[in-house]
Amino acid sequence: MSSGNIKNVVFDIGNVVVRWAPLEIVRLTFGESDSLEAQAKSIFQSETWLSLNKGQITERHAKAQYQEMIGLSDLECERLFYYVKQTQILIYGSVDLIKRCKSAGYKVLALTDNVHEIVSHLKETYSFWELFDGATVSAEVGLLKPQPEIYYSLLSQHDLQAPETVFIDDMAYNVKGAELVGISAIQFESASQCEQALKSIGVKL
Protein backbone atom coordinates (compact mmCIF):
# COMPACT_ATOMS: atom_id res chain seq x y z
CA MET A 1 0.00 0.00 0.00
CA SER A 2 1.41 3.38 -0.99
CA SER A 3 1.62 6.18 1.52
CA GLY A 4 2.11 9.89 1.82
CA ASN A 5 0.72 10.89 -1.59
CA ILE A 6 -2.99 10.50 -0.93
CA LYS A 7 -5.20 13.33 -2.19
CA ASN A 8 -8.49 11.48 -2.71
CA VAL A 9 -10.48 9.36 -0.25
CA VAL A 10 -13.19 7.19 -1.82
CA PHE A 11 -15.93 5.56 0.26
CA ASP A 12 -18.12 2.59 -0.55
CA ILE A 13 -21.66 3.15 0.79
CA GLY A 14 -23.18 -0.19 1.90
CA ASN A 15 -21.68 -1.34 5.22
CA VAL A 16 -19.29 1.60 5.17
CA VAL A 17 -21.60 4.62 5.44
CA VAL A 18 -24.98 2.92 5.85
CA ARG A 19 -25.90 -0.58 6.93
CA TRP A 20 -26.65 -3.22 4.29
CA ALA A 21 -28.20 -6.34 5.85
CA PRO A 22 -29.81 -8.77 3.38
CA LEU A 23 -30.69 -11.38 6.02
CA GLU A 24 -32.45 -8.77 8.15
CA ILE A 25 -34.31 -7.48 5.09
CA VAL A 26 -35.53 -10.99 4.29
CA ARG A 27 -36.49 -11.67 7.93
CA LEU A 28 -38.51 -8.46 8.14
CA THR A 29 -40.17 -9.12 4.78
CA PHE A 30 -41.08 -12.78 5.16
CA GLY A 31 -40.75 -13.53 8.88
CA GLU A 32 -38.51 -15.99 10.70
CA SER A 33 -37.57 -19.12 8.81
CA ASP A 34 -34.86 -21.72 8.50
CA SER A 35 -34.25 -20.68 4.90
CA LEU A 36 -33.33 -16.99 5.33
CA GLU A 37 -29.95 -17.41 3.63
CA ALA A 38 -31.46 -19.26 0.68
CA GLN A 39 -34.18 -16.60 0.37
CA ALA A 40 -31.63 -13.79 0.54
CA LYS A 41 -29.51 -15.50 -2.12
CA SER A 42 -32.53 -15.98 -4.42
CA ILE A 43 -33.23 -12.24 -4.22
CA PHE A 44 -29.90 -10.44 -3.84
CA GLN A 45 -27.68 -12.76 -5.89
CA SER A 46 -30.19 -13.11 -8.71
CA GLU A 47 -29.90 -11.80 -12.27
CA THR A 48 -32.76 -9.45 -11.37
CA TRP A 49 -30.78 -7.77 -8.59
CA LEU A 50 -27.63 -7.64 -10.72
CA SER A 51 -29.61 -5.97 -13.51
CA LEU A 52 -31.06 -3.50 -11.01
CA ASN A 53 -27.57 -2.72 -9.68
CA LYS A 54 -26.32 -2.16 -13.24
CA GLY A 55 -29.18 0.22 -14.01
CA GLN A 56 -30.58 -2.08 -16.70
CA ILE A 57 -34.04 -2.30 -15.10
CA THR A 58 -36.08 -0.20 -12.67
CA GLU A 59 -37.39 -1.18 -9.25
CA ARG A 60 -40.84 -1.63 -10.83
CA HIS A 61 -39.44 -4.11 -13.35
CA ALA A 62 -37.54 -5.93 -10.59
CA LYS A 63 -40.75 -6.39 -8.61
CA ALA A 64 -42.46 -7.87 -11.66
CA GLN A 65 -39.54 -10.23 -12.24
CA TYR A 66 -39.51 -11.38 -8.61
CA GLN A 67 -43.22 -12.15 -8.88
CA GLU A 68 -42.67 -14.14 -12.05
CA MET A 69 -39.39 -15.88 -11.18
CA ILE A 70 -39.72 -16.71 -7.48
CA GLY A 71 -43.42 -16.27 -6.88
CA LEU A 72 -43.47 -13.24 -4.63
CA SER A 73 -46.81 -11.50 -4.13
CA ASP A 74 -47.46 -7.79 -4.70
CA LEU A 75 -47.44 -7.22 -0.95
CA GLU A 76 -44.20 -9.16 -0.45
CA CYS A 77 -42.50 -7.10 -3.16
CA GLU A 78 -43.70 -3.85 -1.59
CA ARG A 79 -42.49 -4.96 1.84
CA LEU A 80 -39.17 -6.15 0.41
CA PHE A 81 -38.27 -2.83 -1.18
CA TYR A 82 -39.59 -0.90 1.82
CA TYR A 83 -37.18 -2.78 4.08
CA VAL A 84 -34.35 -2.61 1.51
CA LYS A 85 -34.46 1.16 2.03
CA GLN A 86 -35.54 1.52 5.65
CA THR A 87 -32.86 -0.80 7.08
CA GLN A 88 -30.09 1.39 5.65
CA ILE A 89 -29.27 3.24 8.85
CA LEU A 90 -26.10 5.27 9.33
CA ILE A 91 -23.03 3.44 10.58
CA TYR A 92 -21.64 5.07 13.70
CA GLY A 93 -18.83 7.52 13.03
CA SER A 94 -18.66 7.20 9.25
CA VAL A 95 -20.25 10.54 8.32
CA ASP A 96 -17.98 12.27 10.82
CA LEU A 97 -15.00 10.58 9.18
CA ILE A 98 -16.12 11.80 5.74
CA LYS A 99 -16.45 15.33 7.14
CA ARG A 100 -13.00 15.24 8.70
CA CYS A 101 -11.40 13.97 5.49
CA LYS A 102 -13.05 16.81 3.63
CA SER A 103 -12.10 19.41 6.26
CA ALA A 104 -8.49 18.21 6.08
CA GLY A 105 -8.44 19.12 2.38
CA TYR A 106 -8.89 15.73 0.75
CA LYS A 107 -11.18 15.21 -2.21
CA VAL A 108 -13.94 12.90 -0.96
CA LEU A 109 -15.89 10.64 -3.31
CA ALA A 110 -18.16 7.59 -3.38
CA LEU A 111 -17.85 4.36 -5.35
CA THR A 112 -20.85 2.11 -4.84
CA ASP A 113 -22.69 -0.83 -6.32
CA ASN A 114 -26.11 0.71 -5.93
CA VAL A 115 -29.60 1.09 -7.36
CA HIS A 116 -31.07 4.36 -8.69
CA GLU A 117 -34.04 4.22 -6.31
CA ILE A 118 -31.87 3.44 -3.28
CA VAL A 119 -29.50 6.31 -4.07
CA SER A 120 -32.52 8.64 -4.35
CA HIS A 121 -33.77 7.39 -0.96
CA LEU A 122 -30.37 7.98 0.67
CA LYS A 123 -30.16 11.49 -0.77
CA GLU A 124 -33.66 12.29 0.52
CA THR A 125 -33.13 10.73 3.95
CA TYR A 126 -29.60 11.75 4.88
CA SER A 127 -27.35 14.73 4.25
CA PHE A 128 -24.05 12.87 3.73
CA TRP A 129 -24.32 12.57 -0.07
CA GLU A 130 -23.82 16.31 -0.50
CA LEU A 131 -20.41 15.96 1.16
CA PHE A 132 -19.06 13.99 -1.80
CA ASP A 133 -17.11 15.83 -4.49
CA GLY A 134 -18.35 13.14 -6.89
CA ALA A 135 -19.79 9.65 -6.99
CA THR A 136 -19.48 6.66 -9.31
CA VAL A 137 -22.62 4.51 -9.00
CA SER A 138 -22.90 1.08 -10.62
CA ALA A 139 -26.42 1.77 -11.91
CA GLU A 140 -25.12 4.86 -13.74
CA VAL A 141 -22.11 3.20 -15.39
CA GLY A 142 -23.44 -0.34 -15.89
CA LEU A 143 -20.48 -1.91 -14.07
CA LEU A 144 -20.01 -3.67 -10.74
CA LYS A 145 -17.10 -4.06 -8.34
CA PRO A 146 -14.63 -5.70 -8.51
CA GLN A 147 -14.59 -5.30 -12.31
CA PRO A 148 -11.43 -3.30 -13.15
CA GLU A 149 -13.52 -1.10 -15.45
CA ILE A 150 -15.52 0.41 -12.57
CA TYR A 151 -12.34 1.58 -10.84
CA TYR A 152 -11.04 3.02 -14.11
CA SER A 153 -14.42 4.73 -14.53
CA LEU A 154 -14.04 6.28 -11.07
CA LEU A 155 -10.59 7.60 -11.96
CA SER A 156 -11.57 8.97 -15.37
CA GLN A 157 -14.94 10.42 -14.31
CA HIS A 158 -13.40 12.47 -11.52
CA ASP A 159 -9.92 13.13 -12.94
CA LEU A 160 -8.13 11.13 -10.23
CA GLN A 161 -4.70 9.51 -10.27
CA ALA A 162 -4.61 5.96 -8.86
CA PRO A 163 -1.45 6.48 -6.72
CA GLU A 164 -3.11 9.52 -5.09
CA THR A 165 -6.32 7.66 -4.22
CA VAL A 166 -7.42 5.38 -1.38
CA PHE A 167 -10.62 3.34 -1.54
CA ILE A 168 -12.55 2.08 1.51
CA ASP A 169 -14.83 -0.98 1.18
CA ASP A 170 -16.12 -3.65 3.55
CA MET A 171 -15.56 -6.54 1.11
CA ALA A 172 -12.08 -8.03 0.67
CA TYR A 173 -12.56 -8.77 -3.04
CA ASN A 174 -13.51 -5.13 -3.73
CA VAL A 175 -10.43 -3.96 -1.84
CA LYS A 176 -8.32 -6.34 -3.95
CA GLY A 177 -10.00 -5.06 -7.12
CA ALA A 178 -8.94 -1.51 -6.30
CA GLU A 179 -5.39 -2.57 -5.48
CA LEU A 180 -5.08 -4.41 -8.80
CA VAL A 181 -5.54 -1.11 -10.66
CA GLY A 182 -3.05 0.73 -8.46
CA ILE A 183 -5.42 2.31 -5.93
CA SER A 184 -4.57 2.01 -2.24
CA ALA A 185 -7.40 0.31 -0.38
CA ILE A 186 -8.64 -0.34 3.15
CA GLN A 187 -11.09 -3.01 4.27
CA PHE A 188 -13.64 -1.26 6.50
CA GLU A 189 -14.56 -2.74 9.87
CA SER A 190 -15.53 0.38 11.81
CA ALA A 191 -15.02 4.13 11.50
CA SER A 192 -12.35 4.14 14.21
CA GLN A 193 -10.45 1.23 12.62
CA CYS A 194 -10.72 2.92 9.23
CA GLU A 195 -9.40 6.21 10.60
CA GLN A 196 -6.33 4.48 12.01
CA ALA A 197 -5.76 2.68 8.69
CA LEU A 198 -6.01 6.00 6.81
CA LYS A 199 -3.50 7.60 9.16
CA SER A 200 -1.15 4.64 8.68
CA ILE A 201 -0.90 5.43 4.94
CA GLY A 202 -0.25 9.13 5.55
CA VAL A 203 -3.74 10.64 5.54
CA LYS A 204 -3.63 13.51 8.02
CA LEU A 205 -6.83 13.90 10.00
DSSP-derived letter for residue 99 is: H
Report the alpha-carbon distance of residue 204 to residue 199 in Å, rounded: 6
pLDDT band at 197 (very low <50, low <70, confident <90, very high): very high
* CA dihedral of residues 143, 144, 149, 153 (deg, nearest 10): 70
Quickly state the pLDDT bin for 161 (edges 50, 70, 90): very high
1 close to 163: Cβ distance less than 8 angstroms: no
Phi/psi of residue 33, each to 5°? -165, 165
What confidence score (pLDDT) does residue 3 get? 54
3-state DSSP call for residue 34? coil
pLDDT per residue as tens digits for the range 77-121: 999 999 999 999 999 999 999 999 999 999 999 999 999 999 999
What are the C-alpha distances in Å from 135 to residues 113, 120, 158, 185?
Answer: 11, 13, 8, 17
Q: How far apart are CA 44 and CA 51, in angstroms?
A: 11
Spatial distance between the Cα atoms of 14 and 92, rounded to a whole number of angstroms? 13
Q: Which pLDDT score, from 0 to 100, does residue 33 have?
A: 87
In tens, the pLDDT along 114-150 reads 999 999 999 999 999 999 999 999 999 999 999 999 9
Q: Tens of pLDDT along 30-79?
A: 999 889 999 999 999 999 999 999 999 999 999 999 999 999 999 999 99
Overall average pLDDT of the 17-32 stretch: 97
- Prediction pTM value: 0.96
- Residue 182 vs residues 159, 166, 176, 185, 197: alpha-carbon distances, Å: 15, 10, 10, 9, 17
Region 16-28 average pLDDT: 97
